[in-house]
């Protein structure tokens, strides 16, 4: 029973981070002043058998529930909400748009520590600084301990008086050099360095910029002017420019103008591995405090970064998708680099698109949003066409760098050595002879994708998925790339006992092996998820490559993302055909982006690069358009095809995915969903009745098409049967109006208890 409450019937409507699509009512704590509590504050509430940290949405005097049965809020955690009213509005909007429970959406905006109810008072950050003796010591005295010498010099290079900060945080040290810890400890032991604690709320320095801006070319200057003229108001800019065209330089000069206005900048990149590189460039350019936010940091580091932005102690936040909702005290600009990258779309739980939400956030905050890419997403180009985004184009590489030449290599009927044609092998030899680097791209890790018995045709399959097991020869394992299950590679066929088991197809391990034989004595580095699992190993490899200690770089799509290899002059895509045939309509766009991105790694400096694609489809329109006319032409054709087929961005999609242990349950569930949808909206109809629909005089555009259910492209995964159902409409508002009513209804379906379902708004892949 509820305790008596002096707030006399005051009720807190609360968003609890659980996967349930509604708010929960609680009795306010005793002696609470309704005017004092504000939406967004964190609360501890009893929930089920335990307690949860939840968020106040509103105070009210009415509840649909029997107030006698309501439980009481246990504790109020914040005096003031940590999120601004605008940020809360953004989260409310995102919850509605993505049809995801508000409590989980608000939870996403907080770093784990605060989500778990930690106090915001942990506000100091460990930093290191020179002692007096450290300032006076000549670093040459440390020449026998070169690592310590480098660290000491780093601190001394900060300057003792002129620099606004003479100290470095752990995050800053890690961004500079992954191996700083031992040397710092030794320098502390020698009395040259000391530990200090700096307040999170430290003031930004007066000097913002090191003054080393480059002299920009006219297109760069035009881009900078366009965005700077728009500071203080909303606008979306799409900065299109090939790798090396000077986009980052443009970002930095715009950032300087924002900093001069006393405002903060949020910079998002798709991949954690891209943060150190950008962070270094920012730190060299700016003297302001820079915070970094991504999933590899500790909870404490993320909490500090978050609070530093919230309190205005840091001026730049550099992060991945998860940094998008970080509160900004004085927001001035949002930048998304590599905006086409699908890593910006969260693929589980709260499936938001960081790009799309960033645009909405910019609009709510009335600040510009700058999207950058060498290969803009088709949606973004469409938004340029319809006037929503403004295109800023950097047509060529900055400085003196030359763009690479793309060519198709027809390998039909050619002799191949483990996936390498003789022509390609010769090209590699001649590149290496010039002391230049080669980069080979193959988007499949492991040794080979299939193990087959030569005696009876048995194939090693995953027991829990509709997939073959991949051979990982280095570890002697077969591994499922979908559920992670692994087993020892068999010595004989489990069916016919034959000893001759054949590895079919090509993975990076296999190519690495043949490269080692063909190019004996050359240094080969393989970059894929297996070889870079150990923390810091990718950075180590990248460093070796950039110092010219590597001859051949072989890798998966990890290579396509932003890393710069200035000495690479030959890039080869070993198996471009495998990307040409997919049932997902997004596939051609992704392939074209991948090809252009991989090509962008070649010939950065004065050396021209060459890009070779091995194909058995030399006449394929995607490849020929891309090669003869470039990405923009490809994009134009692809958009025309999408328009013809009424696919996004010319229509809007919402994809329900469902899985269950029992193969029948997903179908029963979807039958119930379809009939519910038709009950709620007469315009919603399964796609096979669409023809009748047109006869009955309704326009196609008014309809919401329901496609499916069909079994997922991978029908079984990790032991679950998987199905999907696609809703599609040319009218976004109609589609969402239906979903607004459908989703709460689905939650109440009895068939929903037997399955796991999720909803993906604007899906970026149909798997
Ligand atoms: P992107 O981000 O488009 O790949 P960057 O901004 O990294 O391009 O620029 C690529 C290289 O060209 C960098 O080494 C950068 O310092 C240099 N660069 C950029 N702009 C100029 C310029 N206006 N003049 C000379 N060099 C430039
Ligand atoms: Zn067999
Ligand atoms: Zn599996």
Closest residue by Cα to atom 25, ligand 1, is: 399
- Other C-beta atoms lying within 10 Å of the C-beta of residue 709: 20
Q: Which atom of ligand 1 is nearest to the CA of 242?
A: 3
d(CA 276, CA 265): 17
Residue 244 in tokens: 């090396």
Ligand 3 centroid – CA 332 distance (Å): 46
Report, as an integer, the average pLDDT of 757-764: 96
Work out the pLDDT band at 697, boundaries 50, 70, 90. Answer: very low
Backbone phi, psi, residue 633, to 5°: -65, -45
Q: How confident is the model at residue 232 (pLDDT cuts 50, 70, 90)?
A: very high
Range picked from 299-308, 312-321, 599-608 for highest mean pLDDT: 312-321
Distances (CA, A) of 254 to 233, 372, 451, 542, 730: 14, 13, 54, 29, 37
Question: The pTM is what?
Answer: 0.87
- CATH number of this structure's domain 218-394, picked from the four choices 3.40.50.300, 3.40.190.10, 3.10.450.50, 1.10.4030.10: 3.40.50.300
Q: What is the mean pLDDT of residues 247-254?
A: 96
- The answer on pLDDT for 320 being more than 90 is yes
More reliable by pLDDT, 224 or 136: 224
In Å, what is the CA distance from 101 to each residue of 113, 182, 304, 327? Answer: 20, 46, 27, 20
- Selected from 1.10.3470, 1.10.150, 1.10.10, 1.10.8, the CATH number assigned to the domain covering 124-199 reads 1.10.10
Query: In the prediction, which pLDDT does 92 show?
Result: 97
* Mean pLDDT confidence for 106-120: 91
Q: What pLDDT is stored for residue 560 in this prediction?
A: 80
Q: Give residue 396's pLDDT.
A: 78
CA distances from 233 to 331, 366, 521, 659 (A): 11, 5, 58, 45
Question: From ligand 3's centre to the CA of 344, what distance in Å?
Answer: 26
Ligand 3 mean position to 756 CA, how many Å?
18
Q: Using CA atoms, how far apart are residues 37 and 77, in angstroms rounded to an integer? A: 11
Q: Which atom of ligand 1 is nearest to the CA of 374?
A: 3
Q: Report CA-CA distances (Å) from 27 to 6, 69, 71, 81, 402.
A: 11, 9, 6, 19, 68
Ligand 1: atom nearest CA of 600 is: 4
Ligand with smallest separation from the Cα of 452: 2
Three-class DSSP labels, 698-726: CCHHHCEEEEEEEEEEEEEECCEEEEEEE
Distances (CA, A) of 604 to 399, 563, 566, 609, 630: 10, 11, 5, 8, 18
Nearest in space to 762 (alpha carbons), one of 709, 723, 711, 726: 726
pLDDT band at 111 (very low <50, low <70, confident <90, very high): very high
* Closest residue CA from atom 24 of ligand 1: 399
Q: Is the predicted pLDDT of residue 567 greater than 90, yes or no?
A: no
Cα distance between residue 506 and residue 514, in whole Å: 11
Minimal-distance CA residue to ligand 1 atom 15: 246
User: So where are the chain's domains?
Assistant: 11-115, 124-199, 218-394, 405-448+505-640, 652-761
Residue of 249, 278, 279, 396 with the most ligand 1 atoms within 8 Å of its CB, for mutation: 249
- Hey, which CATH number is domain 11-115, 3.50.50.60, 3.40.50.2020, 3.40.1440.60, 3.90.980.10? 3.40.1440.60
Structure tokens at 649: 């961005």
User: According to the model, what pLDDT value does residue 397 have?
Assistant: 76
Q: Round to whole Å and give the CA distance between 240 and 195.
A: 44
CA of 629 to the centre of ligand 2 (A): 49
Please tell me the distance from the alpha carbon of residue 426 to that of residue 423, in angstroms, as a whole number.
5
**Which of 216-220, 225-229, 600-604, 624-628 is predicted least confidently?**
600-604
The pLDDT of residue 300 is above 50: yes
Ligand that comes closest to the CA of residue 240: 1
**Between 443 and 2, whose confidence is greater?**
443
- For range 53-80, the mean pLDDT: 91
Sheet holding 720-729, edge to edge: 684-686, 704-717, 720-729, 652-660, 756-761
Cβ(272)–Cβ(294) under 8 Å?
yes
The ligand minimizing its distance to the Cα of 485 is 3
Interval 706-710 mean pLDDT: 92
- Please give the Cα distance from 127 to 419 (Å, whole number): 51
Ligand 1 atom with least separation from CA of 252: 6
| Gap from CA of 710 to ligand 1 centroid (Å) | 48
Percent above pLDDT 70 for the chain: 92
| Ligand with the closest atom to the CA of 719 | 3
pLDDT at 667: 95
Domain 218-394 and domain 405-448+505-640 have a common topology: yes
Distances (CA, A) of 389 to 167, 359, 376, 384, 412: 41, 10, 12, 5, 43
How confident is residue 208, by pLDDT bands cut at 50, 70 and 90? low
> Which of 29-43, 234-248, 375-389 is the least confident region?
29-43
Compute how many other C-beta atoms are within 10 angstroms of the C-beta atom of residue 374.
Answer: 22
CA–CA distance, 576 with 579 (Å, rounded to integer): 6
Cβ < 6 Å from ligand 1: which residues? Answer: 214-217, 220, 241, 243-249, 398-399
pLDDT (0 to 100) of residue 664: 94
Q: Closest-lying ligand to the alpha carbon of 215?
A: 1
Number of Cα atoms under 13 Å in the Cβ half of residue 105: 28
pLDDT-based confidence at residue 160 (cuts at 50, 70, 90): low
Tokens of 574: 């070993």
DSSP secondary structure letters along 442-471: -S--SSBSEEEETTT--B-B-SSSSSBPEE
User: What pLDDT score was predicted for residue 539?
Assistant: 83
Structure tokens at 744: 């709460």
Residues contacting 359, CB < 8 A, separation 6+: 236, 369
| DSSP element (H, E) containing 255 | helix 247-260
Q: What is the mean pLDDT of the chain?
A: 89
Closest-CA residue to 470 (of 505, 436, 496, 439) = 505
Beta carbons of 622 and 596 less than 8 angstroms apart: no
Tell me the CA–centroid distance for residue 273 and ligand 3, in Å: 27
**For the CA of 220, the nearest atom of ligand 1:** 23
C-alpha dist (Å) from residue 74 to 3, 12, 52: 12, 12, 10
Ligand with smallest separation from the Cα of 284: 1
200-204, 250-254, 266-270, 462-466: the lowest-pLDDT one: 200-204
Distance CA(241)–CA(374), nearest Å, equals 5
User: How many angstroms is it from 159 CA to the middle of ligand 1?
Assistant: 27
Tokens of 220: 């760069």
759 alpha carbon to ligand 2 midpoint, in Å? 42
With pLDDT > 90 as the criterion, what percentage of the chain qualifies? Answer: 70
Could you tell me which residue, 275 or 653, shows the higher pLDDT?
653
- The residue length of the chain stands at 767
Q: What is the pLDDT of residue 166?
A: 66
Q: Give residue 401 CA to ligand 1 midpoint distance, Å.
A: 9
For a substitution probing ligand 1, which of 210, 217, 246 has the most ligand atoms within 8 Å of its CB?
Answer: 246
Please give the CATH number for the structural domain made up of 652-761: 3.30.70.600
Confidence class for position 487, pLDDT limits 50, 70, 90: very high
| Ligand 1 atom nearest 243 alpha carbon | 4
Six-digit token pair at 453? 């018995």
CATH domain 405-448+505-640 topology: Rossmann fold (3.40.50)
Quick one: which ligand is closest to 451's CA?
A: 2
The region that residue 197 occupies, defined by phi over 0 for left and psi between -120 and 50 for alpha, beta otherwise, is beta
pLDDT band (50, 70, 90) for residue 33: confident
Residue 309 near residue 326 (C-beta atoms within 8 A): yes
For residue 125, the model assigns a pLDDT of 65
- pLDDT above 70: residue 39: yes
How many angstroms is it from 459 CA to the middle of ligand 2? 8
pLDDT at 381 over 60: yes
Q: How far, CA to CA in Å, does 242 sit from each of 216, 246, 491, 604, 644?
A: 16, 8, 49, 11, 29
Q: In angstroms, what is the span from residue 634 Cα to ligand 3's centroid?
A: 36
Mutate to test the pocket of ligand 1, among 218, 244, 596, 607 (most ligand atoms within 8 A of CB): 244
> Is residue 536 predicted with pLDDT exceeding 80?
no
| Residue 162 binned pLDDT confidence (cut-offs 50, 70, 90) | very low
Rg (CA), the chain: 28
Residue pLDDT, tens place only, 579-616: 888 888 999 999 999 999 988 887 666 677 899 999 99
CB atoms within 10 A of CB 325: 22
CA of 508 to the centre of ligand 2 (A): 26
Tokens 């991948």 belong to 594
- Reduced to 3 states (helix: H, G, I; strand: E, B; else coil), residue 49 is coil
What is the β-pairing status of strands 437-441 and 568-573? Answer: parallel
Nearest alpha carbon, ligand 1 atom 9: 246
């Amino acid at each position: 029973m509820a305790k008596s409450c002096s707030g006399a019937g005051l009720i807190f409507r609360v968003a609890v981070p659980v996967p349930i699509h509604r708010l929960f009512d609680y009795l306010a704590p005793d002696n609470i002043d309704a005017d004092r509590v504000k939406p967004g504050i964190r609360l501890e509430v009893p929930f089920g058998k335990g307690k949860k940290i939840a968020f106040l949405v509103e105070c009210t005097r009415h509840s649909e529930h029997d107030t006698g049965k309501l439980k009481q809020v246990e504790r109020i955690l914040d005096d003031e909400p940590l999120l601004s009213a605008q940020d809360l509005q953004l989260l409310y909007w995102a919850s509605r748009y993505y049809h995801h429970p508000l409590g989980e959406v608000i939870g996403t905006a907080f770093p784990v520590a605060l989500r778990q109810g930690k106090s915001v008072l942990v506000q100091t950050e460990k930093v290191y600084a020179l002692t007096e003796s450290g300032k006076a010591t000549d670093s040459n005295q440390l020449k026998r301990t070169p690592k310590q010498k480098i660290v000491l010099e780093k601190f001394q290079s900060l300057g003792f008086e002129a620099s606004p900060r003479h100290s470095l945080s752990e995050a800053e040290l890690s961004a500079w050099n992954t191996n700083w810890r031992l040397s710092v400890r030794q320098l502390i032991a020698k009395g040259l360095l000391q530990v200090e604690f700096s307040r999170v709320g430290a003031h930004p320095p007066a000097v913002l910029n090191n003054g080393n801006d480059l002299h920009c070319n006219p297109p760069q200057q035009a881009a900078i002017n366009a965005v700077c003229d728009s500071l203080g108001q909303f606008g979306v800019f799409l900065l299109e420019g090939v790798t090396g065209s000077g986009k980052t330089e443009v970002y930095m000069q715009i950032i300087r103008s924002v900093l001069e206005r006393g405002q903060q900048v949020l910079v998002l990149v798709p991949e954690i591995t891209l943060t150190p590189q950008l962070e270094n460039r920012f730190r060299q350019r700016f003297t302001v405090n820079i915070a970094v936010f991504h999933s590899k940091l500790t909870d404490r580091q993320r909490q500090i970064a978050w609070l530093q932005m919230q309190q205005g102690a840091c001026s730049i936040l550099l992060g991945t998708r998860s940094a998008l909702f970080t509160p900004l005290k004085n927001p001035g600009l949002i930048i998304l680099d590599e905006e086409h990258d699908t890593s910006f779309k969260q693929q589980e739980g709260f499936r938001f698109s960081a790009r799309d939400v960033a645009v909405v956030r910019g609009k709510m905050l009335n600040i510009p949003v700058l999207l950058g890419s060498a290969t803009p997403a088709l949606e973004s180009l469409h938004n340029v066409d319809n006037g929503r985004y403004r295109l800023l184009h950097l047509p060529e590489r900055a400085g003196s760098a030359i763009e690479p030449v793309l060519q198709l290599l027809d390998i039909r009927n050619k002799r191949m050595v483990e996936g390498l044609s003789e022509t390609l092998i010769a090209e590699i030899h001649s590149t290496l002879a010039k002391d230049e680097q080669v980069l080979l791209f193959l988007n499949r890790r492991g040794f080979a994708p299939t193990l087959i018995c030569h005696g009876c045709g048995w194939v090693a399959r995953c027991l829990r998925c509709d997939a073959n097991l991949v051979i990982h020869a280095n570890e002697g394992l077969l591994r499922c790339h979908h559920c992670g299950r692994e087993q020892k590679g068999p010595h004989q066929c489990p069916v016919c006992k034959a000893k001759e088991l054949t590895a079919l197809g090509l993975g990076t391990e296999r190519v690495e092996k043949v490269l080692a034989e063909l190019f004996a004595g050359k240094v080969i580095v393989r970059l894929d998820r297996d070889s870079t699992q150990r923390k810091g190993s990718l950075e180590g490899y990248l460093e070796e490559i950039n110092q010219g200690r590597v001859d051949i770089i072989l890798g998966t799509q990890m290579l396509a993302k932003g890393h710069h290899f200035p000495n690479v002059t030959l890039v080869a895509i070993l198996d471009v055909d495998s990307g040409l045939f997919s049932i997902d309509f997004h596939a051609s766009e992704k392939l074209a982006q991948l090809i252009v991105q991989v090509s962008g790694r070649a010939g950065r400096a004065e050396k021209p690069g060459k890009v070779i694609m091995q194909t058995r489809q030399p006449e394929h329109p995607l490849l020929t358009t891309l090669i003869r006319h470039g990405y923009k032409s490809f994009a134009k054709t692809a958009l025309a095809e999408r328009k013809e087929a009424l696919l996004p961005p010319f229509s809007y999609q919402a994809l329900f995915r469902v899985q269950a242990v029992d193969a029948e349950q997903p179908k029963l569930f979807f039958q119930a969903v379809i009939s519910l949808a038709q009950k709620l909206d007469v315009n919603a109809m399964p796609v096979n009745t669409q023809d009748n629909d047109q006869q009955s005089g309704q326009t196609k555009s008014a309809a919401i098409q329901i496609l499916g259910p069909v079994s997922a492209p991978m029908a079984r995964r990790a032991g679950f049967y998987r199905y999907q159902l696609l809703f599609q409409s040319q009218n976004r508002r109609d589609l969402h109006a239906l979903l607004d009513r459908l989703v709460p209804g689905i939650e109440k379906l009895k068939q929903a208890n037997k399955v796991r379902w999720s909803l993906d708004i604007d899906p970026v892949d149909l798997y």
